[in-house]
Amino acid sequence: MNPPQSNIRHVLRQVAALSVVSGGLALLAGCTSAPESHVVSAPPPPAPQLVVNPTQPTQVVVTGTTQTAAGNTIIVMQAPPAVQVEVMPAQPSSDHKWVPGFWTWRNERYEWMAGHWELPPNRSSVWMAPRWERTSDGGYRFYEGFWN
């Protein structure tokens, strides 16, 4: 055997050995991956809601205020805070209309509902903002906002 053939055989053996090693590593690498997860999580339960018979209004005394719930009516004996100043983000499209923020009564206190851009049901729809009106007995009645 002359030296060039022996060198070729030596190189071929090294290539074969490397291919066996790299193939084995590829198989081992596949074994170290995390198993596919099949855990299915359920959505959170819905928030509890107060169900009120509209013919039988209820009164709840909450931290010195009175809230009467009849259908969608809320009357609170505490005046709402002043409207907050909001910075309007960029309008998403020319079809979006700004719905300003407002105070609502939740969790036994006033909570600010931030303004946001919204697509109205029709191009001609106008947003009628929610409002608080003073009642004859000194309370404040809330009227929901809606698209007109």
pLDDT at residue 148 is higher than 50: yes
Q: Which residue range is the domain that position 104 belongs to? A: 58-147
pLDDT at 54: 45
93-106, pLDDT tens digit by residue? 999 999 999 999 98
Assess if residue 120 is contained within a domain. Answer: yes
3 state SS of 18: helix
Assess if residue 134 is contained within a domain. Answer: yes
For the chain, the domain total comes to 1
Assess if residue 32 is contained within a domain. Answer: no
Q: What is the 3-state secondary structure (H, E, C) of 44-96?
A: CCCCCCCCCCCCCCEEEEECCEEEEEECCEEEECCCCCCCCCCCCCCCCCCCC
Least confident of 20-24, 46-50, 69-73, 117-121: 46-50
